[in-house]
Amino acid sequence: MERGWRNYRVISGHSGWVRSVAVDPTNTWFCTGSADRTIKIWDLASGRLKLTLTGHVGQIRGLGVRNKNMFSAGEDKQVKCWDLEQNKVIHSFHGHLHGVYCLALHPTIDVLYTGSRDCVCRVWDIRTKTHIHVFSGHENTVSSVLTLPAHPQVVVTGSHDSTIKLWDIRYGKTMETLTHHKKTIRAMAHHPKGHCSSFASASTDGNIKKFNLPNGQLLHNMLPQQMNIINAMAVNDEGVMATGGDNGSLWFWDWTSGHNFQQARTKVQPGSSMDTDAAIYALTYDVTGTILITCEGDKTIKMWKQR
C-alpha cells in the first residue's frame, strides 16, 4: 500500500485564480502568478508572503526561475525578466501577438521558450535578449512547452489543436508531429532525472499518454482515465506524477507503470461557491520532490506531502 498524499497547508493572498507557479532552484521560496495580475513570492518552509510584484496587466500564465532572475508570461502578450535583487523588470521580450500561455527554460543554456494563443512558440536568447526562432506550425494556442536534459536539442510543444510537435532547436524545424490525442492538450511533464528520455501529456478528455524522445514513440497510456479536463501535471524524482483537474481532482500515478495509486480532491475554501473555484490550474513539486504545490480556482495555494 503506497503512502498517500495529503493537504497540510492552505495559503491565501491572491485575489484571483492562481494560474502559474515555479520553485526557486535553492528550494527556499516559490512564486505564483494570478488572474489578479500580480506575482507573489512565498517562503517555502513557512508559507509566508515575502513579496508582491506588479507589472503585468493580464493573468500570469507562466513562471520560471534561473539564478537571480525570474521570468513571467502573461495574457497581456508580455514576457518579462525580473531581477530578484532589485525586485524589478529588467527586460521585456516583445513579439507575441496574443496572450502567452506557457514558458520554459532550457536545461543547460540561457534560452527561454514561450508559447502563445498566436499559435507559435518563440525562442529567446536570455543573454543577448534577442529572438532566435519562431516555431510555427500549430493551428491553435501553444499551451505547454518543455525540454529534457537528456535531449537538449529537442523542444516539445503541446497545443489546443490536439497535436504535440517536436522541434530541433538547432535548425528551428519540426522533427515530428504526434497526433495520438483527440482533444486539446493543456499540460505536459517529464521525469526530472537527467537521463530520462520520456515525457507525458494530458488532454481535456482526461487521456494521459507517455512518449519517448527523440522520435516521439508512444510508450503507453496512463490508466484509468481521470475523466476530467487536466490542466496541470508534474513528476518528482521518485517517479510520482501528479495531475490536477478542472473539477479539483488531484490524481497520483506511478511514472514507470502508468498505474494510478491515489485519487484525491481539493477542498474549496469557504466563500467559494462556483464549480470553477475547485479547479487546479497549475502545480509543481519542490526541488526535493517531497512537497507538491497546487494553484487553484478558489484563489488559494495548497501544499501537499506524503502521510
Q: Quick: pLDDT tens for 90-123.
A: 999 999 999 999 999 999 999 999 999 999 999 9
| pLDDT of 1 above 50 | no
The angle subtended at Cα 107 by Cα 134 and Cα 11, nearest 5°, is 100
Q: Quick: pLDDT tens for 231-287.
A: 999 999 999 999 999 999 999 999 999 999 999 999 998 876 666 689 999 999 999
Read off the C-alpha cell for 198: 520520456
Measured over the CA atoms of residue 151, residue 280, residue 224 and residue 252, the dihedral's sign is positive
Nearest to 143 by CA among 178, 113, 102: 102
CA distances, 212 to each of 150, 200, 234 (Å): 11, 9, 17
φ, ψ for residue 211, nearest 5 deg: -125, 160
| pLDDT of 2 above 70 | no
For residue 262, give the DSSP letter: E
Residue with cell 528520455: 197
Stretch 160-167: mean pLDDT, rounded? 98
Q: Quick: pLDDT tens for 15-32.
A: 999 999 999 999 999 999
Q: Quick: pLDDT tens for 128-151.
A: 999 999 999 999 999 999 999 999
Q: Could you count the other beta carbons within 10 Å of the beta carbon of residue 179?
A: 10
Q: Is the pTM of this model over 0.75?
A: yes
Read off the C-alpha cell for 76: 497581456
Contacts with 279 (C-beta within 8 Å, 6 or more apart), sequence order: 17, 231, 245, 246, 247, 248, 296, 297
